[in-house]
Structure 1
């Protein structure tokens, strides 16, 4: 390899490392909440439980913010519906959704008396934990527009700024609420949603930036670095949370420790912000904006002077591909994409990732021991994700997904039974680790591989619907877990085993779905996969 080639390789690896910090922050921000769940319950929920005025005010603000979040999600759904149906049909569907949602909220939510019942406490706690996912839905949906208006790199700069704002606001919501004029509980939720928008942007723009900067021969390897960065970010924050609470009293953790968990995100976010200032915009965006000279210079630096003109021409030609109607290939591919996203979340993975310390405490472990077990979960997640990256092209997508579903079903049904029978906590721990390994080897990374493969180029925009559905399913699962797990009646009947049985059943259904409907895409060119849908 000559000196110029070595320089090009080092440049692209450095650029990939910088962009992958977006993936690391994705993992960091979504997992940081895991160490703070108990403290949030103590600091926010218990603090207003005995204060009638404070609880009434918090409930009113909670109703308002839920209503606003629902309106935002409906607006997002509406934008997608217009892409599937004719205008008259789309308006009819949207009207039906608005009426049904409005009726539900009026009778089941807005008519709630200003009384902090057990279920309402669990609902507020669940939404505090999962509120960032509302932002993720918004950020992911806005990602394409931002990428094409201000660029991939500048979009990542925006996400870095949002991460910093969220870290400060989540750590000290009672101080930062001077900008919002709300209670500290509502302020915390809003700043978590802001962080979620950053996650949503990073989840789309980081792999897009890497894919557009990387030479074709190493693109797959470099894009997979983003998935590795996500699970690394989760593992890093598990260590950070552990060292923050290690040896500390419960009182200190509940008053101050949880704040440091959120504030710690400022360190990687600031590094991400600074490093992004020194990386170039992608050649594709430069061509999009008519800056072919700058694009050619970037391509020459990363691919060599000989290949750069040909790559530039390919980029220019790619803009000539005509987009097709989203139903050009029928509903089959759309439904498969949506169900892949929904099942990835309905098997319960983010319940484990977000609530792991609380789950382990429920098994009888202390605070420090619970945090150590969470670190083990992160290590298993990272190790088996790496194994999946290296085996998916050899072993096959469908086979790995089927095996993963079966082992996840065994693990979750077994975990629910172990808790119900109040068995040995070691058995419960081993079953949870088996579940994490099965997910990390299958539904974790391979769902993204399939989503990137099954949608033909002409309808690639449908992937945005699948990603939005994934975040929405994540929100539903994460929000409802405390409602099931902390419900006094369910706990008395099933001893915390009920929710895990639900996730086990979902894993079984996911196996049936993969077996019956999802084609094997291993070794097939994208054009071959496109023909699968044309035949149907």
Structure 2
């Protein structure tokens, strides 16, 4: 197999795994177009709006927490298949006429699928990717996420525009959620055409199968070297929970958890989930707000492509620093616009789009890149589960609290809180995150020691 064929093979696997990211983005962002109609349909209080927007995150938390253990036991591929099935069940369940309790139940089922995919898709790509292309390839998973977000923004806008407001309140929002069955089925079918992770196969003692896959990725000579290196760093005994807290791993775990935390408490999902409602607060109508939300998705998509282009050239740390600084400035402007009653113009829209651009360059894709590559093979499944578990806990907290904060302290102070947290992210990255580009996964443990 020539070099071109090997590259094609790696990118094919990556793109299939990234469909899991697409489902992740599609299913988490669908609520943005539906939440206003749900609020009218069920006469929801601000606290209930937060719960309806964030109930899926309960499933995300437990899906992420269990994905590492399950994938260590059954394999990365089988558990990704499980996530596709959970997505599909959730989409169909919500589309069927039922009350708010059934909605919450099926959103939590979908959340389990999101949690699994959010943890396993980047880990699977990391374990497949050559070291010199790993940052770019794992970032493609984030491209999948933002593609899913952009796609559902278009779908939401198209469905909302079909009939009048009353139809959307009664039926339209069900169609929005039900549309998720199509990408779920596509993901399920594609997963049958990709191999298992070679590092998982080696961990299970299936070296012949692992070598065959590594040969298709790296060529025969490099595959032998890499398999030998994997086995040198791999102990096939079960991983005890206490092991991830030993020196070296403990420091990486601390960094991974805090990076996951900062990627969420700096406000991204408050904007992604509630973008139409934020734009309505600036004086725009429902149709205009949905179109501006699509613009948010387009900017998110385009600047994720920029991150993919430069992550392996510029490095993770420089992009994280630049992005955190830019997010801090943009959130200061958004808060200032609301405080000075300047929200009616373009300042809020431009500042939000700039904030999205800086996030898409940095904390968006690179959180998953760094978390997926900083742990050694033996502990990666369990350690990543803990980090992604923490990420979803903070997504839930932000999503639950955001509408309550808006009502209690107003738009300006809410966005200024996110500004201070973004400044905290800037300091944390500068002080605690090392540069990891072009290092093999087997070198990471030495980096933290």
Same fold (TM over 0.5): yes
Aligned equivalents of 1:269 and 1:239: distance in 2?
A: 18
- Counterpart check, 1:275 vs 2:194: no
Q: Report what 2:149 is aligned to.
A: 234
Cα deviation for residue 307 of structure 1 reads 5.5
Cα deviation, 1:147-186, whole Å, max 9, x if unaligned, reads 1222211111111100000111122251xxxxxxxxx212
Shift in alpha-carbon separation, 1:455–1:224, aligned structure 2, 3 A:
same
- Counterpart check, 1:441 vs 2:365: no
Cα deviation, 1:274-330, whole Å, max 9, x if unaligned, reads 222233333334444454444444445555566655554444444338864513248
Q: Report what 1:335 is aligned to.
A: 254
- Counterpart check, 1:359 vs 2:278: yes
Deviates more, 1:223-232 or 1:441-450: 441-450
Cα deviation, 1:76-126, whole Å, max 9, x if unaligned, reads xxxxxxxxxxxxxxxxxxxxxxxxxxxxxxxxxxxxxxxxxxxxx222221
Cα deviation for residue 382 of structure 1 reads 1.4
Bigger CA radius of gyration: 1
Say which SS state the counterpart of residue 276 (structure 2) adopts: helix
Say which SS state the counterpart of residue 497 (structure 1) adopts: helix
CA root-mean-square deviation = 2.8
Normalising by structure 2, we get a TM-score of 0.88
Aligned equivalents of 2:207 and 2:320: distance in 1?
A: 43
Unmatched 5+ stretches in structure 1: 47-120, 175-183
Give the alignment of 1:168-207 within 5 angstroms: 168-172=92-96, 174=98, 184-207=99-122
Normalising by structure 1, we get a TM-score of 0.75
Q: Report what 1:40 is aligned to.
A: 38
Say which SS state the counterpart of residue 194 (structure 2) adopts: coil
Cα deviation for residue 517 of structure 1 reads 4.1
Aligned equivalents of 1:273 and 1:529: distance in 2?
A: 32
Cα deviation for residue 135 of structure 1 reads 1.1
Q: 1:462 aligns with which of 378, 383, 389?
A: 383
Whether the aligned pair in 2 keeps the contact of 1:18 and 1:276 (CA below 8 Å) is yes
Whether the aligned pair in 1 keeps the contact of 2:63 and 2:114 (CA below 8 Å) is yes
Aligned equivalents of 2:362 and 2:143: distance in 1?
A: 14
Aligned equivalents of 1:283 and 1:401: distance in 2?
A: 30
Cα deviation for residue 422 of structure 1 reads 2.4
Aligned equivalents of 1:396 and 1:371: distance in 2?
A: 35
Whether the aligned pair in 2 keeps the contact of 1:326 and 1:462 (CA below 8 Å) is no
Cα deviation, 1:320-375, whole Å, max 9, x if unaligned, reads 38864513248654433322221211111100111111111121112221111111
Whether the aligned pair in 2 keeps the contact of 1:126 and 1:478 (CA below 8 Å) is yes
Shift in alpha-carbon separation, 1:454–1:310, aligned structure 2, 3 A:
closer
Q: What is the number of residues matched between the two proteins?
A: 443
- Counterpart check, 1:157 vs 2:84: no
Whether the aligned pair in 2 keeps the contact of 1:296 and 1:309 (CA below 8 Å) is yes
Shift in alpha-carbon separation, 1:280–1:123, aligned structure 2, 3 A:
same
Shift in alpha-carbon separation, 1:501–1:273, aligned structure 2, 3 A:
same
